[in-house]
Amino acid sequence: MPGFSRDVFNARRLKAIARKDAQRRSQQLAARGRGSLLMFIYRHLSINYIHLRTQCDTFMYELFLMRRGIAISLCLIARGGINVYAQTASSGAQTSTRATQLPMSAASSQAGAVSTQQTPVAGTGPATVNSSIQVNGDFAGSVPGKELPPGPVTLTLADAVKRGLAANLGPITASNAERASRAARIQALSSLLPAIAANASDTVTQVNLAAFGFQFNVPASVGFSIPSVVGPYNYSSLQGTLSQSLYDPVARRNWHASQETEKASQLNAKDARELVVLAVGGSYLQTVATAARVDSQRAEVANAAAINRQAEVRREAGTNARIDVTRSAVELQTEQQRLSTLEAELRKQKISLARLIGLQQDRELILVEPLSSQGGNMPDANAAIQQAFERRADLQALTAGVKAAQIALSAARAERLPSASLNGNYGVIGPNPEKTHGAFAVTGSVNVPIWQGGRVKGDILEAQTTLDQRQAELANERGKVEQEVRTALIDLEAASGQVHLAESSRTLANDTLAQARDRFGAGVATTLEVVQAQQQVASADSDYISSLFSYQLAKLSLARATGEAELSLTKQQSEGHK
C-alpha cells in the first residue's frame, strides 16, 4: 500500500503521543479556567479516537500485505501449474525404440561393373575366340591423380594398377559408402551411451494470471484488489542434465546390426579394389595388345612396300606384267589402311586407360610391359572354387548383410520387451547469480509395451522379408562365383592351347613368306603368291597377339574370380623386383 510504513502503525507509540497531547490540552484548559469535568471528558475522547484510528490503519496495512501475498502465491501456482501440466502431458504412453529396417537388398550399391568376355569368331587361324574387357559406370572414371613431370609417362602394369587404386572413382565411391556406414554405426551406439548437457540462463518475466484462468472480482467494500499481472521479476539458473539408457534391447540390437552393415561396406570397398585391378589390368593388356598389332602392321606395310618396289623393278625390266604391279600396290594400300585404323584404336585405348587411372588425357603413355605366355600349372577346379568361397570379398559382404538382417529381425521382435532409463539433473537457481540454491531431480523409468496398434508385427514382417531376400541373394551369389571360376578356368585352358598353336602358325607363315619372296625374286612366281603369303603372316601375327592377350586376360580373370587379383599382382611385382 503506497505511502505506508511499519513505523506509522506502532500502536504503543501512538497512544503515548495521544496521552501527552491530552495532558497538554488539559493544562491549557485548566489555565484558562475551564472545569475539571470538561478536561476529563476531552482527554478520554481523544485517547479513544487515536486508538481507533490506529487500529483501522493497521488493519488496512495488513490487508495490503495479504493482497500482495495472494498475488505472488497465485503467480507461483500458475507457473507450477505449467510445469505440472508439462509433466502430465509427457507421462502418457511412451513409444519404445523401433528396430532399424535395413534395405531389402544387401548387394553392393556400386554404380558400375567390370567384366571379361570371350566370344567365338569365324576364321581359319588358331585364334578362334575374341577376348575383351568391359568397364562401365564409376569404374570407367576417376579423379585427377598425382601430378607427374612433363613429357611421356612410362607405365608398368603395377604402376598403372597402383594409380588406378588411388584415383579410380569406383573405390572412392565404395570408400565413401563405408564412411557412411561407419557414421550410422556411431549414431546407433550413441543411443546406448549417456547424454550429458549443461545450460545456464537468466530470465526476466512477467505473468498474466488471467491467461491461466485466474479472475478475481473482489468487492469494492473490502478496500483492496488482487492484480492480474505479476512482475516483472528475475531469476537465474545453472543446470546440468544426464540421460542414460539402462536397458534397451532394441537399441542394442540396432547397434549390432549396424556393425555388420559396416563390415559389409568394408568388404564391398575391398571388392571394388579387386574390380579396379581387373579393369586397369585388362585395359593395360588390351592396349599393349593393340600396340603389338600396330607394330606388326607396320612391318606388314614395310613388307608390302618392298614387294611393290620389287614388282615395279621387274616390270621396268620387262620380266613382270603390269597386273603384278597393280596387285602389289593394292595390297600396300590395304595394309596402310589397316595400320591407320589400328593406330586410331591405340590412341583411343590409351585415353581410356588414362581415364581409369587419373592421368591427363593428353599425356603420351609408354607401356613397357609386353605380353607374355609364361604361366603356371592349371589349378584344380574344386580347389579354386573353395578358395573363391573363402576369399571373395563380395561374397563375404553378402554374408555379413545376411547376419545384419538376422540381428535386425531380432531387434524387431525385441520391441515387445520392456526398457529402462535414467534421467537426472542438478543445478542452482535463485533471483540472481549471487543468491542461488541447489536444486536436483532424478527419475528412473521402466517402459513396458502392451499394445502398439500392430506396429511390432509389421516391423517383424518387414525384417523377415528383408532376411529372406538377402538369403536368396547370398545363395545366388555363391552360384555366380562358382560360375565365374569355372568359366575363367575354361578360358585359361583354351587360351593356353591357342598360344602354342598360334606360335607354331606364326613360324610357318613367316617361312612361307620367305619362300614366296625368293620364288618371286627368281621369277618362278607371281606377286599373287607373295601377297597370299603376306596375308598369312599378318593373320598369324594377329592371332598370336590375340592368343597372348586372351591368355593374360584369362589369368587375370581367374585371379579376380578367386578373390586374389590384388594379391597376385603384388606377388608378381615382388618377384619382378627380385
**Model confidence over 130-188: pLDDT tens digits?**
788 999 999 999 999 888 888 889 999 999 999 999 999 999 999 999 999 999 999 99
Which of 51, 23, 54, 52 shows the shortest CA–CA distance to 39?
Answer: 23
Same-domain pairing of 26 and 129: no
Distance CA 565, CA 562 (A): 8
Minimum mean pLDDT range among 381-395, 411-425, 508-522: 508-522
Q: How many residues are there in the chain?
A: 578
Query: Do residues 434 and 524 share a domain?
Result: yes
Q: Domain of 443: which CATH number?
A: 1.20.1600.10
The predicted structure's pLDDT at residue 264: 95
CA distances from 242 to 91, 97, 440 (A): 18, 19, 11
User: Tell me, what's the pLDDT at 7?
Assistant: 43
Domain membership flag for residue 235? no
| Cα 419 to Cα 447: distance, rounded to the nearest angstrom | 5
Q: Is residue 199 part of a domain?
A: no
Mean pLDDT score, 562-570: 85
Looking at the predicted structure, is the pLDDT value of residue 8 above 50? no
Residue 573's pLDDT is 59
Determine what percent of the chain is predicted with pLDDT higher than 90: 43
- 37 and 119, same domain (yes or no): no
pLDDT band at 226; cut points 50, 70, 90: confident
> Same domain for 487 and 443?
yes
Residue type, 34: R
Of residues 517 and 390, the one with the higher pLDDT is 390
Per-residue pLDDT of 405-459, as tens digits, reads 999 999 999 999 999 999 999 999 888 888 888 899 999 999 999 988 889 999 9
Quick check: is 425 in a domain?
Answer: yes
Say whether both 564 and 425 belong to one domain. yes
Both 73 and 134 in a single domain? no
pLDDT of residue 91: 43
The residue written with cell numbers 548387394 in the block is 107
Task: Decide if pLDDT at 218 tops 60.
Answer: yes
Band the pLDDT of 345: cuts 50, 70, 90.
very high
Same domain for 133 and 182, yes or no, is yes
pLDDT tens, position by position, 430-439: 888 888 888 9
- pLDDT class for 382, splitting at 50, 70, 90? very high
Q: pLDDT confidence of 30, banded at 50, 70, 90?
A: low
Q: Does residue 213 carry a pLDDT above 80? A: no
Overall domain count for the chain: 2
Using CA atoms, how far residue 362 sits from 142, 357, 359, 421, in Å, is: 15, 13, 9, 64
The angle subtended at Cα 113 by Cα 107 and Cα 119, nearest 5°, is 125
The whole-angstrom separation of Cα 498 and Cα 173 is 39
Instruction: Extract the runs of DSSP E, i.e. beta strands, from 65-219.
Output: 112-120, 129-137, 153-155, 195-208
pLDDT tens for 42-66 read: 555 555 555 555 555 555 555 555 5
Instruction: Dihedral sign for Cα 107, 112, 118, 119, please.
Output: positive
Cell 484462468 locates to 213
- The owner of cell 571373395 is 392
DSSP per-residue letters across 433-494? TTEEEEEEEEEEEEE-----TTHHHHHHHHHHHHHHHHHHHHHHHHHHHHHHHHHHHHHHHH
**224 in a structural domain:** no
Q: Are β-strands 365-367 and 153-155 bridged in parallel, bridged antiparallel, or unpaired?
A: parallel
Same domain, 255 and 388: yes
How many helices and strands in the chain, by DSSP H and E? 11, 8
For 76, the domain range is 7-80
pLDDT band per the 50, 70, 90 thresholds, residue 208: confident
Residue 332 reports pLDDT greater than 90? no
Q: To the nearest whole percent, how much of the chain has pLDDT over 70?
A: 78
Q: Could you tell me if residue 28 is inside a domain?
A: yes
Q: Which residues pair with 446 in a beta bridge?
A: 420
Q: Are residues 141 and 256 in the same domain?
A: yes
* pLDDT, position 86: 38
User: What's the rounded mean pLDDT across residues 334-356?
Assistant: 93
How far apart are alpha carbons 399 and 403 in whole angstroms? 6
Scanning the structure block, which residue is given the C-alpha cell 613368306?
A: 513
User: Does the residue 180 lie in any domain?
Assistant: yes
Whether 103 is in a domain gets the answer: no
Q: Are residues 14 and 160 in the same domain?
A: no
Lowest mean pLDDT among 4-13, 93-102, 114-123, 183-192: 4-13
Q: Check residue 183 and report its DSSP letter.
A: H
pLDDT tens string 266-311: 999 999 999 999 999 999 999 999 999 898 888 888 888 887 887 7
DSSP structural state of residue 415 = G
The reported pLDDT for the residue numbered 185 is 95
Rounded to two decimals, the pTM is 0.76
The mean pLDDT value for 486-498 works out to 90
Q: Are residues 426 and 560 in the same domain?
A: yes
Task: Return d(Cα 478, Cα 396) in angstroms, integer.
Answer: 10
Model confidence at 510, pLDDT cuts 50, 70, 90, reads: confident
pLDDT at res. 28: 61
In a domain, 306, yes or no: yes
Give the separation between CA 524 and CA 6, rounded to whole angstroms: 149
Separation of first and last alpha carbons in the chain: 105
C-alpha closest to that of 564 among 217, 278, 333: 278
The three grid cell numbers given for residue 565, joined into one nine-digit string: 587379383
Residues 273 and 366 placed together within one structural domain of the fold = yes
* Average pLDDT score over the chain: 81
